[in-house]
Amino acid sequence: MVKKHNEIIKAESKDLSFFYADKTQALKKVSLPVYENKITALIGPSGCGKSTFLRCFNRMHDLYAGNRYDGKIILQPDNTDILLENVDPIEVRMRISMVFQKPNPFPKSIYENVAYGLRVRGESNKRTLDEKVEEALKGASLWSEVKDRLQDLAFNLSGGQQQRLCIARALATEPEIMLFDEPTSALDPIATMNIEELMSELKQKLSILIVTHNMQQAARISDYTAYMYLGELVEFDGTNQIFTNPSKKETEDYITGKFG
C-alpha cells in the first residue's frame, strides 16, 4: 500500500496495468502519485516497466497499434482520467511533456526546435514566439550559449546542449508535468551535472517524473523514489527513506547492489 505523504497530488496512477500488442503485460496494477513541485524518480532493473509506466502519462503508447491500458491516471486539477477513450491524447501531451533518453532534436534550426510546440498550437505571432523561445531557452539554461546562433542547425550542438535544447522544446509550451526518460544516459558527467541542476530548478515551476538507471542520480535529485520490479511497484517513499531505510527486502537488495 502506498504511504500517505503530506504533499499535493498532481497526477496519480490507479491500478495501472499495461499490455503490449503481443499480449505481454508490462505493468501490473501500479498505483503511484506524482506530487506537485517534486521530483519523483523511478528506479529498477532494465525491463522492469519503468519506461513503459512513464510513457503512459503522455499516452505515447497510443502511437502503436494493439497496445492496451487498464486502470486510470487521474490528472489534477481536472480530476480526469487521462486514459479515457474520449480524452484527446494531444491535449494530454500539451500539458505533460517529455524528454527522451537520447537527445532527439529535429533536423531544424535551434529556434524552430523550441518554437515547434507553440507552432502546433497555432501560435504564429513572431513577437510571441520570440519571447517564448527566449524564455524556454533561459529556462533550460541554454540561452547564453545559443542566443547568437538561433538559426544554426540543432545537430551542430554538443550532446549535452542538444539535450538541454530538448528540455527547452518541452518547456516552451509551459507544461504542468515533465517526464524524463533516462535523460542523461547518453551524456558525459559534466553535461549530466548540468541537466541535474536544471531539473532541480525546474521543479519550482512544475512536477517531474524521471526514469533513471543511475541510483546515485535518483538519490541526488529526487524527492520521492519508486522501486519497480517485473512490472510491479515494490516500494514508494521519500528518497531519503528509500535509500537509508527501505521497508522491503527487495528494495534493500537492489539499493545495496546485491541484485540488479
Partner 1 sequence: MAIQNKAAANKNLDSIRKTIANHKRHDFIFASLGTLVIASLTITLLILFLDLVIDGYPRFNLDFFSNFPSRRAARAGILSAWIGSSLVLLVTFFVAVPLGITSGVYLEEYAKKNWFSDLIEINVSNLAGVPSIIYGLLALGLFVYSFGLGQSILTAGLTLALLMLPIVIVSTREAIRAIPVHIREAAYAVGATKWQVCHNHVIPYSYGGILTGVIIGMARAIGETAPVITIGALTFIAFLPPSPIGLEPPFINFEWLESGFTVLPIQMFNWISRPQLAFHINAAATGAVIIMLTLLMNGLAIKLRYNIRKKIKW
Partner 2 sequence: MNPENDLIISQRLAKNFQRNFRERLIEFGLLCSGLIAIFITLAIVYVLVSEAIPFFQYVSIIDFLTDTVWTPNYSIKHYGILPLISGTLTTTGIALIVAVPLGTITAIYLSEFASHKVREIIKPILELLVGVPTVVFGYFALMLVTPMLQKIYPDLTTFNMLGPGIVMGIMIVPYIASVAEDSMRAVPMSMREGAYAMGATRFQTAIRVITPAAISGIVAAYILAISRAVGETMIVAIAAGQQPNFTFNPVESAATITSYIVSVALGDLEHGGIGYQSIFAAGLTLLIMTLLINILGHAVRKKYAERY
Q: Give residues in contact with partner 2 (CB under 8 A).
A: 72, 74-75, 78-82, 84, 86-88, 90-92, 95
Torsion of CA 225, 37, 130, 140, to 10 degrees: -40
Name the residue among 70, 67, 80 with its Cα closest to residue 12: 80
Torsion of CA 100, 128, 89, 73, to 10 degrees: 70
**CB neighbour list of residue 27: distance below 8 Å, 6 or more residues apart:** 16, 17, 18, 49, 52, 53, 56, 231
Question: Least distance (Å) from partner 2 to the CB of residue 77?
Answer: 8
Using CB under 8 A as the binding rule, whether residue 20 contacts partner 1 is answered as no
Residue 88 or 152: the one with the smaller Cβ distance to partner 2 is 88
Binding segment toward partner 1, per CB under 8 A, in 28-36, 96-104, 208-216, 232-240: 96-104
Residue 88 or 131: the one with the smaller Cβ distance to partner 2 is 88
Do residues 137 and 168 touch, judged by C-beta distance below 8 A? Answer: yes
Residue 12 or 253: the one with the smaller Cβ distance to partner 2 is 12
Cell matching residue 163:
539535450
Instruction: Pick one of 40, 163, 173, 225: the residue that binds partner 1 (CB under 8 A).
Output: 173
Do residues 35 and 9 touch, judged by C-beta distance below 8 A? Answer: yes
3-class DSSP state of 4: coil
Using CB under 8 A as the binding rule, whether residue 151 contacts partner 1 is answered as no
Q: Using CB distances below 5 to 8 A depending on partner kind, what does residue 81 bind out of partner 2, partner 1, none?
A: partner 2
Using CB under 8 A as the binding rule, whether residue 123 contacts partner 1 is answered as no
Instruction: Pick one of 98, 136, 191, 233: the residue that binds partner 1 (CB under 8 A).
Output: 98
Torsion of CA 74, 238, 227, 50, to 10 degrees: 40
> What mask of x and - would describe binding to partner 1 in positions 50 to 69, judged by CB under 8 A?
--------x-x--x-x----
Question: Least distance (Å) from partner 1 to the CB of residue 206?
Answer: 15
Using CB under 8 A as the binding rule, whether residue 83 contacts partner 1 is answered as no
